[in-house]
Amino acid sequence: MRKTVFLCVTFLILIALSLPVVFAARDKAGDELSKSFITKEDIFYELGLFADAITLVDANYVKEVTAKEMIYGALDGMISSLDSHSSFLTPKEYIDLKTDTLGEFGGLGIKVTLRDNVLTVISPLEGTPAHKAGIISGDRILKIDNKPTKDFTLDDAVKVLRGIPGTRVKLTIIREQESRLREFTIRRAIIRIKSIKDALMVNESIGYIKISDFQRRTGSDFNKALKRLIKKNMKALIIDLRNNPGGLLDASVMVSKVFLKKPKIIVSIKGRGKHQDVVFRSNSLKPYTDFPIVALINKGSASASEIVVAALRDNKRALIVGEKSFGKGSIQTVMPMKDGSAIRLTTSYYYTPSGAIIHEKGISPDIIVEAKAPEPVENGDTKKMKKISKKEALANDNQVKEAISLLEDKTRYVSLMES
């Protein structure tokens, strides 16, 4: 063990000596990302402290710890301290990430994040156990199976929320503007994620498409659904992005460009260096520009769904109805390490066509319509739910009714679009 620690400390010192050379070479090449506030003295001194800490732990800790355990722990602390979306992944965690959510998994059907260091629900996926139980966007999860989540990372949360289908998990949450705690005992299920959840005509002239999240096939599936509705004589469209937690950037770009003339800006990405800056523009040869659109959002609309909404609104192609969106506009890049581990690092932010930042700001609708919270089902027992058709559900949806009213009143629609 002593020899291993000695080699580890020696390696850190060599890094301290070599890093300034790497930075200098990159600066000379004009790589703006490498312009760092870290000096040669800073690196050498701070890595020296780190080496001292490893030596002290090795010599004095109550039980033996391997060098890898110490290094992994240090990396985990360093990366997670940057922001709630950056993290260190062990080789197993990296493998799990690469094979994750490709089809189905046992879980509750919620997307979570850390907001103000508290585990927070971005949104429940429609039709999943969490959604049926009454979990809503913004719920703060204080305990999972009576275990406090105070020091949980996102990876920690995912590990305990997922599990064998049929098993139960207990969530203790606190809801915005409430002082009492709520408890939900929810049965895990196989979560099958269907991107285009609904595509139908709500009346003789208005079509409706619900996008639950953005996957690899979302763009092509959305196009097919849109063409089917057009064949049914659709004259106006409602795009429902409520409780859509996001997904693939490319998919959101594909959906947006269907409605925008080239070369309209869809979204911009800006990072620390100019080489990270990217502007996505519409390149559609025959976009659909001849019918009005209303997009629905709520507190559970995040990331890729916010990109679509901002692209359509800023380019005067749609009006937005509902509630302010979640505000998840940062991009994480997963960088593999040589031992099979990886670093998931926030590298840039999304910006709307008008130049506004999305992250922690969200998108405000043109017309605010608050939704009624879903009635909770005791212990996630879906058998007690009244079965109604999708059309009936939409007919009783106050946000959808506002969208229909807006699309049927052409004068009001144009007036709001021009304001």
Range of the domain at 175: 101-192
Q: Please report whether residue 72 resides in a domain.
A: no
So what's the pLDDT on residue 62? Answer: 96
Asked whether residue 409 falls in the same domain as residue 275, the answer is yes
Per-residue confidence in pLDDT tens, the chain, 419 aa: 655 555 555 545 444 444 433 333 334 334 444 445 567 677 777 888 888 999 999 999 999 999 999 999 999 999 989 998 899 999 988 887 775 544 456 899 999 999 888 999 999 988 899 999 999 999 999 999 999 999 888 888 988 998 889 999 999 999 998 999 999 999 999 988 789 989 999 999 999 999 999 999 999 999 999 999 999 999 999 999 999 999 899 999 999 999 999 999 999 999 998 888 999 999 999 999 999 999 999 999 999 999 999 999 999 999 999 999 999 999 888 999 999 999 999 999 999 999 999 999 999 999 999 987 555 544 444 444 456 788 888 989 999 999 999 999 999 999 999 98
Asked whether residue 206 falls in the same domain as residue 349, the answer is yes
Asked whether residue 257 falls in the same domain as residue 339, the answer is yes
Short-list 268, 215, 214, 219, CA closest to 241 = 214
Q: What is the CATH number of the domain that holds 364?
A: 3.90.226.10
Q: How many of the other CB atoms lie within 10 Å of CB of 157?
A: 18
Note the pTM of the prediction, 2 decimals.
0.80
Q: Please report whether residue 76 resides in a domain.
A: no
Catalytic residue set: 303, 314, 328
Asked whether residue 128 falls in the same domain as residue 270, the answer is no
Looking at 134, 163, 192, the residue that finishes a domain is 192
Q: Please report whether residue 80 resides in a domain.
A: no
Q: Please report whether residue 385 resides in a domain.
A: no
- What does the alpha-carbon distance between residue 60 and residue 56 come to, in Å, rounded to a whole number? 6
Asked whether residue 188 falls in the same domain as residue 200, the answer is no
So what's the pLDDT on residue 47? Answer: 84
Asked whether residue 181 falls in the same domain as residue 225, the answer is no
Q: Please report whether residue 202 resides in a domain.
A: yes
Q: Please report whether residue 93 resides in a domain.
A: no
The total domain count for the chain is 3
Query: Can you say whether residue 233 is alpha, beta or left, with left for phi > 0 and alpha for psi between -120 and 50 degrees?
Result: left
So what's the pLDDT on residue 386? Answer: 54
Looking at 47, 65, 83, the residue that finishes a domain is 65
So what's the pLDDT on residue 21? Answer: 36
Q: Please report whether residue 168 resides in a domain.
A: yes
Asked whether residue 186 falls in the same domain as residue 273, the answer is no
Residues 6+ apart with CB under 8 A from 194: 212
Contact 398, 296 (CB under 8 A): no
Asked whether residue 241 falls in the same domain as residue 156, the answer is no
Q: Are strands 206-211 and 196-201 parallel, antiparallel or unpaired?
A: antiparallel
Q: Please report whether residue 406 resides in a domain.
A: yes
| The two three-digit tokens of residue 380, written as one number | 């996630």
Asked whether residue 369 falls in the same domain as residue 405, the answer is yes
Integer CA distances (angstroms), 3 to 9, 13, 44, 67, in order = 10, 15, 22, 10
Q: What is the CATH number of the domain that holds 114?
A: 2.30.42.10
- What does the alpha-carbon distance between residue 143 and residue 308 come to, in Å, rounded to a whole number? 34
Looking at 192, 219, 253, the residue that finishes a domain is 192
- What does the alpha-carbon distance between residue 87 and residue 93 come to, in Å, rounded to a whole number? 11
Please give the DSSP secondary-structure letter assigned to residue 366. S
For residue 175, the number of C-alpha atoms closer than 13 Å in the C-beta half-sphere is 11
Asked whether residue 321 falls in the same domain as residue 414, the answer is yes
| The two three-digit tokens of residue 293, written as one number | 């659109």
Contact 242, 297 (CB under 8 A): yes
Asked whether residue 154 falls in the same domain as residue 205, the answer is no
Asked whether residue 280 falls in the same domain as residue 410, the answer is yes
